[in-house]
Amino acid sequence: MDTTTDTAEAISHPTTDHEASTVSRPQTMYRPFHGRMLAGVAAGVADYLGVDVTFVRIILAVLTILGPGVPIYLVGWLLIPEEGAEQSLAGELIQSLSSRPR
């Protein structure tokens, strides 16, 4: 058996173990309807990063105790669009203000 041919084939056709182990995540971040407690910010971040939502909620709780957690959550609520929405709440507000006649 010629091992150089087997090695060359293995190099030119890598296994898909890495591809199978990667977590598919959404291309853009959304606040989903499933798994939300308040506005879905933690669930959206967890879905996007491919981690458990409990992990994100614990980090947000610690950040809230340290101070910046609530402002971070509010910014996420404004900037991350809801599932199925075209744009975020902030984007809708900016668009409505810019399209208003002067």
Domain boundaries, the chain: 26-99
Q: What is the pLDDT of residues 38-87, one digit of tens each?
A: 999 999 999 999 999 999 999 999 999 999 999 999 999 999 999 999 89
Quote the CA–CA distance of 31 and 42 in Å, as a whole number. 8
Quote the CA–CA distance of 40 and 83 in Å, as a whole number: 10
| Section 32-37 average pLDDT | 91
Spatial distance between the Cα atoms of 17 and 15, rounded to a whole number of angstroms = 6
Enter the pTM of the model. 0.70
